[in-house]
Amino acid sequence: MRTKSRQLVALLRPVLRAGSVLAVLLAPTAVPLPAVAGVLPDTPGAPAAVAPIGTARAVCADTPLRLTFDSDVRVGSGGRLTVHRPDGSAVDTIDLADPASYQRLIGGARSDYGEPHRWTYEPVVVEGRTATVLLHRSLDPGKQYYVTVDPGFFEGHAGITSPRTWRFRTAATPRPGTAELRVDAHGGGDFCTVQGAVDFVPEGNEQEVTIDVAPGTYREIVYIGQSRPHLRVNGSGAGRTVVAYPNNSVLNGDSAMADVPPEQSYCPRRVLPQPDRFNCWRAAFGVDADDFRLRSITVHNLTPDGGSQSEAFRGNGDRIVLDRVRILSHQDSLRLQGRAYVADSYIEGDVDFFWGTGGVFVRNSELKALDLGYISQIRNAPDGPGVVFSGTRLTRAPGVADGSVLLSRIDSRFPASQAVFIDTAMDAHVAPVGWGLTGFDCTTGQQLRFWEYGSTDLRGAPADTSQRLSCSRQLTEAEALTWRDPATLLDGWDPSATTGRGRGN
């Protein structure tokens, strides 16, 4: 058990509360809200309303709980919120004084040794007058429950002690084998959370399963383990469907795992055994499964600038497709390890905000630098593929200085890094030297594949590449034609037809 859990959560708590800069991004409906709400009797010090409530209409088994007060509310320093079965037995308890309450299992994740992995998370999210409780697991479908809240669980509030006050029932889940699932934060689908739908898919899945996610912002960590391949998660448009959470290394990565036994924390399916020991747990949306597709959705890691490594999306499987997505973070925004294809998408960050081991083909996408730093860091094997960016735009946020950003950097552990920019329109924030080496130089960089062809400024005028790193190279037209084909990099796999863009476009 991680004794630091509560302290680590406290570091992120400003992100999760109204009044912080990032809370504005979430709005009052940021956390999935139950569809059935009710006003409580006028009891001094009790919440004004709770949701879900009542047994006339069933709610998702993965529903969060919501309490609304007459004025702004604060979480107390102790006390319990408990979900009970009708016989009074406890199903789940949030105990503010117990570090274990700040951890939960997600997606059946297991360490490299097969031990269950627990994430540190914030079980009670406060926004102004509203508190949302994220339970440790989904409830059982088709059952009735009641909720009690200790006095003082919320500062200055009397709590809910009667088993008759806050009751509700859960709906049945879809039939086993259902291949089309719907997620709706407001209760209009099969599930209220993305993770709830993922968990419904059986381990060892062999069929394609589509998860359609309704408009809304889903504040949750999503994890898809390697035993659940063939999933398709479709949003309702990247501007309408958002998965957001402030996960990071401090909360669930190297910084947090320092005192945890390796068998409980080492990442499964590690591509780089030593560097990848703990860093699989810190993404807002993590995938260890093969044949995964994410479409028309935003994934936003809400960790503030300077808050440590914090992937928005981490893909660690074979044949992963990101189509028309928005990937938002600061450091290490998008990490892909294994064959992947990214099309018509938007990625932003500042330090190594596109990284991984490859091979990855990126087409017709925008990469926006939020500050000085590095666009990519590609850690492919000496004989392995890296990343090709074809037809991309490299833009910058206001205030990012000219010449302050490198296309890619690499250190001496990965001397054969491959980063290829073809037909790229880039703003003046890209430094004239273009590329960066750490711990070695071009005299020992003969294996490097820092390649470029047809670079322009944002108006389409040819870019000046005369000052590029001496061991980088400008491709010939014939070479560029070859590398524009995704199948060249991806060992014959070409998913471009399924994303609406043909080969060579």
503 located within any domain: no
Same-domain status, 212 and 336: yes
Q: What is the pLDDT of residue 14?
A: 47
Same-domain status, 296 and 435: yes
Same-domain status, 165 and 256: no
Same-domain status, 475 and 352: yes
Same-domain status, 259 and 229: yes
DSSP count for the chain of H helices, then E strands: 7, 35
Q: What is the pLDDT of residue 41?
A: 54
Residue for token digits 């944002």?
458
505 located within any domain: no
Mean pLDDT of 51-76: 95
137 located within any domain: yes
Q: What percent of the chain clears pLDDT 90, i.e. is strictly above it?
A: 85
Question: Ramachandran region of residue 27, left (φ > 0), alpha (ψ -120 to 50) or beta?
Answer: left
Q: What is the pLDDT of residue 233?
A: 99
Q: In DSSP terms, which residues pair with 334 in a beta bridge?
A: 313, 354
Confidence of residue 505 (pLDDT cuts 50, 70, 90): very low
Q: Token pair for residue 73?
A: 């509310």
Mean pLDDT of 234-259: 94
Alpha helices in 206-311 (DSSP H): 249-252, 262-265
- The values of phi and psi at residue 489, to 5°, are -80, -35
Burial class (CB in 10 A: 0-12, 13-18, 19+), 460: exposed
Q: How far apart are CA 153 and CA 102, in angstroms?
A: 15
Q: What is the pLDDT of residue 18?
A: 36
504 located within any domain: no
Same-domain status, 230 and 298: yes
Q: What is the pLDDT of residue 2?
A: 45
First to last CA, the chain: 51
Same-domain status, 244 and 145: no
314 located within any domain: yes
Q: How far apart are CA 258 and CA 279, in angstroms?
A: 12
Average confidence score pLDDT of the chain: 91
In a 13 Å sphere around the CA of 85, the CA atoms on its Cβ side amount to 9
208 located within any domain: yes
Q: What is the pLDDT of residue 398?
A: 98
Same-domain status, 190 and 165: no
- The values of phi and psi at residue 313, to 5°, are -130, 135
Cβ atoms of residues 63 and 192 within 8 Å: yes
- Number of domains into which the chain is organized: 2
Same-domain status, 164 and 212: no
Is pLDDT above 80 for 28?
A: no
The predicted-structure confidence for 317-328, as pLDDT tens digits, reads as follows 999 999 999 999
Q: What is the pLDDT of residue 37?
A: 53
Is pLDDT above 60 for 414?
A: yes
Residue where a domain stops, chosen among 147, 170, 193: 170
Same-domain status, 144 and 115: yes
Confidence of residue 310 (pLDDT cuts 50, 70, 90): very high
Q: What is the pLDDT of residue 346?
A: 99
Same-domain status, 225 and 165: no
Q: How far apart are CA 292 and CA 301, in angstroms?
A: 20
Q: What is the pLDDT of residue 39?
A: 55
The predicted-structure confidence for 357-376, as pLDDT tens digits, reads as follows 989 999 999 999 999 999 99
The predicted-structure confidence for 465-498, as pLDDT tens digits, reads as follows 999 999 999 999 999 999 999 999 999 998 987 7
Q: What is the pLDDT of residue 1?
A: 39
Nearest to 67 by CA among 26, 34, 23, 103: 34
Domain CATH number, residue 300: 2.160.20.10
Q: What is the pLDDT of residue 276?
A: 87
Is pLDDT above 60 for 30?
A: no
Same-domain status, 237 and 373: yes
394 located within any domain: yes
107 located within any domain: yes
Mean pLDDT of 90-118: 96
Residue 301: other Cβ atoms inside 10 A: 29
Residue where a domain stops, chosen among 110, 139, 170: 170
- List the domain range (segments joined by +) for residue 231: 180-497
Is pLDDT above 60 for 21?
A: no
* DSSP state at residue 114: S
Residue where a domain stops, chosen among 107, 141, 170: 170
